[in-house]
Structure 1
Amino acid sequence: MPVTTLDGHEVHVDEEGFLTDLSEWDDELAGVLAAQIGLTLTDEHRAILAFLRTDYAERGETATLRRASAGSGVPVKDLFRLFPQKPAKKMAYVAGLPKPVGCV
C-alpha cells in the first residue's frame, strides 16, 4: 500500500486515499483529512466520526448512510449538510475507515 504524507503525518492509503492502517488515525489527522475535502470539523462532525469508529470496531465494516443516521441519531438530511454531496464516503474518509460497501 502506498504511503503519503499529510501535514506531517505519514499514513498508509489505498488508491483512493482511504487509510489502510486504522491505527494511524487520530483527532488531529481527522482535521487534516477534513481539510483535504474542504471541511472544517465541528463538534457535530466529531460526534459522527466517533460513532462511525465505534460502529466499525463492533461490526468490522464501515456504516452505510442509513446505519450512520440511525445509530448516531442524526437525520440523513443533517449528514448531507455536514458532509455535502457524498456523505457516506466523506464520513468514512475523515473517520479513517474503509469506503463503505456500495459507494462509488
Structure 2
Amino acid sequence: MAEKTFAGKTVEVTAEGYLVNKSDWSKEVAAEMAKEDGIELTDKHYEVLDYLREQEASGASLTIRKVGKSGIVDIKGLYELFPGGPLKLSSKYAGISKPASCV
C-alpha cells in the first residue's frame, strides 16, 4: 500500500489508487484524485459518486448497466463523465472498492 496526500490529508491507497479506508473519502479528496486523471468533477459527477457510495453501502453489486438505469445518467453520459473506464474511475473517486466487474 502507498500513501498519497489529497486535500491536505494523507491517505492510504492501493496500487491502482483506490482508497484503503472508505472513511478517508470526502468530496475534496475525490476532486483531487480526479484532477490527477485530468477530470474536473461537476455536480453530475458527484451525483454518480453519491449513488455508487449508497449502492455499495447497501451491499448491491455495481455494474455500468445499473448506473445507467439509476436515472442519474445514461450509459453514454457515464462514459462522457468518466472517459476510459467509467465504473472503474467513478468507483475510485467515490472511495469504494474496485467493482468485481472491472478488469
Structure 2-normalised TM-score?
A: 0.90
Question: Is the contact between residue 3 and residue 12 of structure 2 (CA under 8 Å) also seen in structure 1?
Answer: yes
2:2 is aligned with 1:14? no
Partner residue, 1:47: 47
Question: Is the contact between residue 7 and residue 28 of structure 2 (CA under 8 Å) also seen in structure 1?
Answer: no
Q: Provide the rounded CA distance (Å) in 1 between the counterparts of 2:23 and 2:60.
A: 14
* Structure 2 residue identity aligned to 1:79: L
Partner residue, 1:33: 33
* Structure 1 residue identity aligned to 2:68: S
Partner residue, 2:92: 93
Runs of 4+ in structure 1 over 4 Å off: none
Shift, 1:102, TM fit:
2.6
Question: Is the contact between residue 48 and residue 72 of structure 1 (CA under 8 Å) also seen in structure 2?
Answer: no
Q: Provide the rounded CA distance (Å) in 1 between the counterparts of 2:72 and 2:47.
A: 10
Question: Is the contact between residue 83 and residue 91 of structure 1 (CA under 8 Å) also seen in structure 2?
Answer: yes
Q: Secondary structure at the match of 1:59?
A: coil
Shift, 1:70, TM fit:
1.5
Number of residue pairs matched by the alignment: 103
* Structure 2 residue identity aligned to 1:28: E
Shift, 1:34, TM fit:
1.0
Query: RMSD between aligned alpha carbons?
Result: 1.5
Give the structure with the higher percent helix. Answer: 1
* Structure 2 residue identity aligned to 1:14: T
2:74 is aligned with 1:75? yes
Shift, 1:67, TM fit:
1.4
List alignment gaps of at least 5 residues for structure 1.
none
